């Protein structure tokens, strides 16, 4: 297994090496040591690559990921897996603000807690958080699934569109136009698949589903106070 030691190898060289390996379609396996909270680690990977980061990272780790599998054996700073297209990103610790922001596909699996604005403007990504999430999570979420095994903070799902939100714990408050919805058999099936993929120890029947009331799709003077 090739190892990239960030105590001696500059960040740019690390990312270029990984990006070239991903493009080669060789299904290579890499290990990154001594990340020391560096920003933008393992970004822009476009190919079947497996990367394990042995430690915590800073801003925008695994951003724009496509096809690759990236595992962080630590915690991640703001914007982890931002604009992710496909593949899988696993955070063994906690994730900071706006995890999975604008993500379009793939699975972001956070084994700890996530901070505020988790899944903001998500556009198709699946996010599973084994702990709690902070306020304003799934703000303007358009598509995809956010699964939370713990609790959710204030203003969950504010101004969301068609994303599905599944929360097992308590929700401090719902954002504008976000309402609790019926958990139908097809949602149980979707949620079970996500829990299985994330290795989460939970039953889909323990969750509540939240989604858009669809009142804010077009301006209506009767709902002006909600905008």
> What does the block give as tokens for 24?
């080669």
pTM beyond 0.85: the answer is: yes
Residue 226 predicted with pLDDT over 80: no
Q: Which residues contact 201 (CB under 8 A, 6 or more apart)?
A: none
Q: Where are the domains of the chain?
A: 3-226
pLDDT, position 200: 97
Average pLDDT over residues 10-36: 96
- Domain formed by 3-226, architecture: 3 Solenoid (2.160)
d(CA 73, CA 57): 9
Instruction: Fill in the DSSP letter of residue 207.
Output: -
**Where does the pLDDT of residue 218 fall: very low under 50, low under 70, confident under 90, or very high at 90 and above?**
low
H/E stretch holding 88 reads strand 88-91
Pairing mode of beta strands 50-54, 178-181:
unpaired
**Where does the pLDDT of residue 1 fall: very low under 50, low under 70, confident under 90, or very high at 90 and above?**
confident
pLDDT, position 227: 52
Residues 128 and 147: beta-carbon distance below 8 Å: yes
Average pLDDT over residues 177-206: 97
d(CA 141, CA 3): 37
Residues 155 and 173: beta-carbon distance below 8 Å: yes
């Amino acid at each position: 297994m090739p190892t990239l030691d960030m105590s001696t190898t500059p960040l740019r060289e690390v990312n270029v090496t990984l990006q070239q390996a991903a493009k080669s379609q060789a299904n290579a396996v890499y290990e990154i040591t001594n990340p020391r909270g560096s920003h933008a680690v393992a970004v822009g990977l476009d190919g079947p690559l497996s990367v394990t980061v042995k430690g915590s990272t800073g801003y925008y780790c695994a951003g724009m990921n496509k096809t690759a599998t990236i595992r962080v054996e630590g915690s991640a700073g703001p914007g982890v897996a931002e604009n992710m297209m496909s593949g899988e990103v696993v955070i063994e610790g906690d994730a900071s603000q706006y995890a999975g922001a604008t993500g379009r596909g793939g699975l972001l699996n956070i084994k700890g807690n996530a901070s505020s604005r988790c899944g903001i403007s998500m556009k198709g990504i699946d996010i599973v958080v084994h702990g709690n999430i902070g306020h304003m999570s799934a703000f303007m979420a358009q598509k995809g699934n956010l699964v939370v095994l713990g609790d959710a903070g204030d203003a969950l799902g504010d101004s969301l569109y068609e994303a599905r939100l599944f929360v097992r714990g308590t929700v401090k408050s719902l954002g504008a136009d976000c309402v609790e919805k019926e958990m139908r058999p097809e949602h149980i099936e979707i949620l079970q698949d996500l829990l299985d993929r994330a290795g989460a120890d939970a039953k889909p029947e323990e969750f509540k589903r939240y989604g858009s009331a669809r009142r804010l799709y077009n301006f209506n003077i009767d709902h002006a106070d909600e905008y």
